[in-house]
Structure 1
Amino acid sequence: MTTVSDALELIYASLANDNAEIDTHIKTLKAALAAEGKKEAVVEPTRLAQNNRAGRKTMQAYFRKKGVTVTFAE
């Protein structure tokens, strides 16, 4: 079973690699969130390829379409 933190590491690696297999990793993250009883994933904005408002909003919108709520750590 993959933990939320492990799934987020896969997401970060995918983002750094031109979004390779991002949809698969989002599904993994969604399952890990459900298994841990969490409602949202908290992402470190400094680890994003596009750490600006537009990049964060695009990420939130894409993940929302896949059923995952994303918030950003302060």
Structure 2
Amino acid sequence: MTEPSIADATNRIYESLQADNADIDTHIALLKAALAREGLKEATFDPARLVQNNRSGRKRMQAYFRQRGVTVKFSEQ
């Protein structure tokens, strides 16, 4: 079984967010591993695909991911 790419892990996180955060910690760990394999330190998310696309929701997401070792940035809208 191959390891998921950053894009695959990011898509799984979007799906998890849509499903009321089901298995979010597992998907964050997969994203963290994918970032490490690519030598990257941060993940970029599209705010339009977030369930709660407001400042509070984005900041909460950044804080939650940061606690798990992943820096989150958002693409420009």
Partner of 2:14: 12
Output the TM-score relative to the length of structure 2: 0.95
Uncovered stretches (5+) of structure 1, i.e. residues with no partner: none
CA distance in 2, matches of 1:37, 1:43: 18
Identity across the alignment (%): 64
Name the Cα RMSD after superposition.
Answer: 0.3
Tell me by how many angstroms 1:17 deviates: 0.1
Q: After TM superposition, list the pairs within 5 Å mapping 1:55-66 onto structure 2.
A: 55-66=57-68
Uncovered stretches (5+) of structure 2, i.e. residues with no partner: none
**SS class of match (1:41):** strand
Output the TM-score relative to the length of structure 1: 0.99
CA distance in 1, matches of 2:6, 2:40: 9
Partner of 2:30: 28
Partner of 1:39: 41
Equivalenced residue count is 74
Give the ranges of 4+ consecutive aligned residues of structure 1 lying more than 6 Å apart after TM superposition: none
